[in-house]
Structure 1
Amino acid sequence: MLQQNILNQTQGFIFLFLFWIVAFLCIRMFFKKKETNLTFLVSNRNVGLLLGAITVSIAWVWAPALFVSSQKAYEQGVPGLFWFTLPNAGALILFAFLATRMRKIFDSGFTLPEYMGKRFNRRMELLYSFTIFIVQAYAVIVNLTAALLLLNLVTGIQKESLIVILGLMMVSLSLLKGIRSSFVEDAIKTGMVALVALIIVPWGILATGGLPGVISGIGGVTGKFTNLFDPTIFWTFGIPISISLLSGIVIDQQQWQRAFSIKRKDVKTAFLLGGVIFAVVPIMLGALGYLAANPALNLKILPQQHQLAGFLVLSKFLPAAAIIGFTAMILSGLVAAGSSALSAVSSIGATDFYRKIKPKASDKELLKASRVSMVMLILIGMGISLIPNIQLLYLVLAVGAFRAALFIPTVLSLFWNKLSAEYTFWGIILGMIVGVPLFIYGSITKNPNITSFGSLIPIIITLFTCVLGGVTNNRVFKFSSLLKK
């Protein structure tokens, strides 16, 4: 069924090299001035509404949005795609209000750990820095892995070679201009996503019988999942993925970096608009999953290829040019997402580590620390990405159980002036200790009930400890102190 090796290996290397060169030249062309720490990390805090909305929405398009959307539509029909799309878009809308609050009380910040350190103490800053480093390492790994799955099928290039090429591509582009490199890559990614959403996906739908073909597959491959509010899908997938995504964006330094980069007056609108723009991506790619599930097409998709359901439909019914266009969209999306993670870690390396070690560090030294952080992260990500049979969906949920422990404390820290540093810290630790093993056990035993509890437990524990600590705390934090120079 799959037209493997649409490009031979030589053509595949040329394809990757051309993309690399185009992205490199675009970054150099748009940003010619020498970088400072402020431009490298937060683009002088002067990003406008249009670019802001585009970059926050497109930066949220990770591998899950490009692959899991069609996978869930294929496997679980209407409720599967619904519970993937709704919390994804909702996360950006929620973040609009958190980012607005952050800019009001901590307008000159660079990172979330930096804020938590000033709000509480150095121990809390280190806890957040460590957790966010893990989350961004996951971002690099999950995007490298997704790119490997597709590019290996299209070009036949060995996975080891692809890891080296893609890793070098991500880090070399990021090292140029930091967050501004990400903005250029996001613009390229937006153009490619528009190409797929407006031309290639409709083309694929028309080539397979039009909208009736999509409708025939809305129940998933088994045809059983037509109830939007299917209770089983809600409990086993809807709850854990919602917790994963909502908690994920709250501690996502990629989005906080953008929140600190956008003009303060445009922050809320940019994220609200970004949530609406984002929703188009999983809906359009989910339509391909419904096509794959259409029994009339008689597609034989192996279980290990469910992540590629949308791509496999196009590869059977559209010419090679369309497949290359789809592959270019995936490549631009995953490289941009990986580069964004590197940029996010660079701000933590410079702000939360090097500046603490050397408070009077020069701009040149901070830029060097930022770039060293990028190199460290990409080496870790490249090393782990070769683990066989990594499932993107498992990675999304596993990391969600880990970062869920920071969700409630982060939100409350922005609004509640009596939150206790001691209770909050140990609540986070306890939530991680209990929640993560539960999720791992549930995944190993394939017990979705335990997996869902593993996602919920950190939320419950941290909510209880934060409320208990706040009620018994006699100290009142003055948010106005964060604005003092």
Structure 2
Amino acid sequence: MNFLWGNSIALSWMWGLGLFFSVQFSLQYGLFGLLTFAIPNALGLMIFGGLTQLIAKRAGNGPDALGAFFANWSRPYRLIFFLYQILAVTLSIFALVRYGWQPLGLEPSGLYLLLTILVILAAATLFGEEFDIRRIKFSHGVLGVIALGAAALILVQLPSIGSGQPMMTGVNPFMGLNFWGYAIPICVGLTLGPWLDLQQWQRAIQIQREGKSPLLSYLCGGSLFFLLLLAHGSLALWVSGQLGTAPMRQGIDSLAYGQDGVTRFFWGVASLHPWAFGAYVVALFIMTLTTLDSGYIALRWHLSKSGGAGRPFPLSLLPEGLLASPVPAFVFAGLFTLAAVYLRLELEYFMIFYATFFVGYAALA
């Protein structure tokens, strides 16, 4: 059971950030950069699991000890937890659409963009409604098996797709100031990240209620997450090797971006290798869906604890069911994604907001 929880932890923590920025960092800084990105991510999850288990023991050995601690500790940060989850949901939808759909160049682009966002929102809502926190480990277990099958299919097809060139590992960027401009906030932010994530707190609380070990679950989750990042980043480096150069493009700010490099590569060979392209799309969708359904469940849990009596006057006039529902937050995320994709923004713009606003609160908390 700890492994099932670990699988759910790893999938839900992918966000759009881990999923696509592992590609960007690998293309920019090679294998060393990929490890610099993946290791703090994995350690952050493991440390979170170990410390929450320690907190639960100190708070009492009852099944709700961790839940009672979180209810008291999180009270001053309720708005921050809510905004953090909105960022996770918005970033995940944006990243999938921007780097998984937009490179396909489908026309009419406006209509397809709207339909794609609606399908993503509908799938997230459906899974969020059907699977609560007690059952999500089973749904994520099934989705994890499908994603593993998709990854195996891609791996089998790589020799026939590629030109026989080895993976491009890149040079060691250790002395580059540009690298450290990324690496320092990444190491700090991703190590502290789980502490403001409602999804991870809800999981840790449920794991303890079931009598399982948050430490073991998060050790499994961190290890699986590391392997997922390593696999996706290594795939990006393999693509670079076949092309002879990193598949980067110029953004609206004239900087180089490559988050969609793997998508563009597989789309380019889709007519000859449709199964490989389809498997990659399935894997991307599953990695995003498992963040979004977790976000839906976590937001519903969080909003249900905000009683109507304490709300300001204008909000108290609205139906309680609407105020306690994650749907408005998801609609906002969809509308924001629509605008951000149309403006051709990049993942790094979201990261700037995360690094400047949320990291300070995480460290304080």
- Which TM-score band (shorter chain)? 0.7 to 0.9
- Seen in structure 2, the aligned counterparts of structure 1 residues 151 and 356 have a Cα distance that, compared at 3 Å, is same
Cα drift, residue 136 of structure 1 = 0.9
1:283 to 227, 230, 236: 230
- Seen in structure 2, the aligned counterparts of structure 1 residues 116 and 259 have a Cα distance that, compared at 3 Å, is closer
SS of structure 2 residue aligned to 1:331? helix
Indicate conservation of the 8 Å contact 2:150/2:280, yes or no.
yes
Cα distance in structure 1, aligned partners of 2:350 and 2:2:
32
- Seen in structure 2, the aligned counterparts of structure 1 residues 405 and 158 have a Cα distance that, compared at 3 Å, is same
How do residues 469-480 of structure 1 correspond to structure 2 at under 5 angstroms? none
Cα distance in structure 1, aligned partners of 2:175 and 2:2:
38
2:169 to 218, 222, 230: 218
- Seen in structure 2, the aligned counterparts of structure 1 residues 299 and 228 have a Cα distance that, compared at 3 Å, is closer
- 1:308-342 superposed Cα distances (whole Å, 9 cap, x missing partner): 11222333346012101110111122122111111
- Structure 2 gaps of 5+ residues are 252-256, 312-319
Cα distance in structure 2, aligned partners of 1:79 and 1:237:
13
- Seen in structure 2, the aligned counterparts of structure 1 residues 230 and 344 have a Cα distance that, compared at 3 Å, is farther
Equivalent residue letter for 1:250: W
How do residues 240-255 of structure 1 correspond to structure 2 at under 5 angstroms? 240-255=185-200
Indicate conservation of the 8 Å contact 1:137/1:381, yes or no.
yes
Q: Counterpart of 1:269? A: 216
- 1:108-129 superposed Cα distances (whole Å, 9 cap, x missing partner): 2686xx746624xxxx61x411
The reply to whether residue 373 of structure 1 matches residue 325 of structure 2 is yes
- Seen in structure 2, the aligned counterparts of structure 1 residues 369 and 56 have a Cα distance that, compared at 3 Å, is farther
Equivalent residue letter for 1:383: L
Indicate conservation of the 8 Å contact 2:3/2:220, yes or no.
no
Cα distance in structure 1, aligned partners of 2:71 and 2:196:
14
Indicate conservation of the 8 Å contact 2:153/2:279, yes or no.
no
Q: Counterpart of 2:83? A: 134
Aligned residues: 337
Q: Counterpart of 1:83? A: 36
How do residues 456-475 of structure 1 correspond to structure 2 at under 5 angstroms? none
Cα drift, residue 295 of structure 1 = 7.4
- Seen in structure 2, the aligned counterparts of structure 1 residues 201 and 370 have a Cα distance that, compared at 3 Å, is farther
Cα distance in structure 2, aligned partners of 1:376 and 1:325:
32
Equivalent residue letter for 1:168: A
Q: Counterpart of 2:181? A: 236
- Seen in structure 2, the aligned counterparts of structure 1 residues 335 and 265 have a Cα distance that, compared at 3 Å, is closer
- 1:335-356 superposed Cα distances (whole Å, 9 cap, x missing partner): 22111111111111112x1287
SS of structure 1 residue aligned to 2:326? helix
- 1:148-188 superposed Cα distances (whole Å, 9 cap, x missing partner): 12234448262122122211221232123332464344224
Cα distance in structure 2, aligned partners of 1:237 and 1:195:
33
Q: Counterpart of 2:316? A: none
Q: Counterpart of 1:191? A: 145
The reply to whether residue 256 of structure 1 matches residue 173 of structure 2 is no
Cα distance in structure 1, aligned partners of 2:136 and 2:149:
20
2:2 to 49, 53, 60: 49
Cα drift, residue 103 of structure 1 = 2.5
- Seen in structure 2, the aligned counterparts of structure 1 residues 159 and 109 have a Cα distance that, compared at 3 Å, is farther
Cα drift, residue 244 of structure 1 = 1.8
- Seen in structure 2, the aligned counterparts of structure 1 residues 261 and 61 have a Cα distance that, compared at 3 Å, is same
Cα distance in structure 2, aligned partners of 1:242 and 1:202:
34
Indicate conservation of the 8 Å contact 1:346/1:371, yes or no.
no
1:175 to 129, 136, 142: 129
The reply to whether residue 63 of structure 1 matches residue 10 of structure 2 is no
The reply to whether residue 151 of structure 1 matches residue 104 of structure 2 is no
- Seen in structure 2, the aligned counterparts of structure 1 residues 369 and 134 have a Cα distance that, compared at 3 Å, is same
- 1:413-458 superposed Cα distances (whole Å, 9 cap, x missing partner): xxxxxxxxxxxxxxxxxxxxxxxxxxxxxxxxxxxxxxxxxxxxxx
SS of structure 2 residue aligned to 1:307? coil
Cα distance in structure 1, aligned partners of 2:87 and 2:228:
21
Cα drift, residue 68 of structure 1 = 1.3
The reply to whether residue 392 of structure 1 matches residue 354 of structure 2 is no
- 1:65-87 superposed Cα distances (whole Å, 9 cap, x missing partner): 22111121112213321221111
How do residues 243-392 of structure 1 correspond to structure 2 at under 5 angstroms? 243-262=188-207, 263-294=210-241, 297=244, 301-304=248-251, 306-317=258-269, 319-351=273-305, 353-354=306-307, 372-386=324-338, 387=340, 388-392=343-347
SS of structure 2 residue aligned to 1:373? coil
SS of structure 1 residue aligned to 2:307? helix
Indicate conservation of the 8 Å contact 1:254/1:344, yes or no.
yes
The reply to whether residue 73 of structure 1 matches residue 18 of structure 2 is no
Cα distance in structure 2, aligned partners of 1:110 and 1:173:
26
- Seen in structure 2, the aligned counterparts of structure 1 residues 188 and 394 have a Cα distance that, compared at 3 Å, is farther
- 1:354-410 superposed Cα distances (whole Å, 9 cap, x missing partner): 28759xxxxxxxxx8599431121122112111222311331342132111222333
Cα distance in structure 1, aligned partners of 2:38 and 2:85:
22
Cα drift, residue 256 of structure 1 = 0.7
Cα distance in structure 2, aligned partners of 1:309 and 1:78:
16
Cα distance in structure 1, aligned partners of 2:259 and 2:144:
22
Q: Does 1 or 2 have the higher relative contact order (CA < 8 Å, sep 6+)?
A: 2
The alignment yields a C-alpha RMSD, in angstroms, of 2.8
Give the % identical residues: 19
Cα drift, residue 298 of structure 1 = 5.6
TM (normalized to structure 1)?
0.63
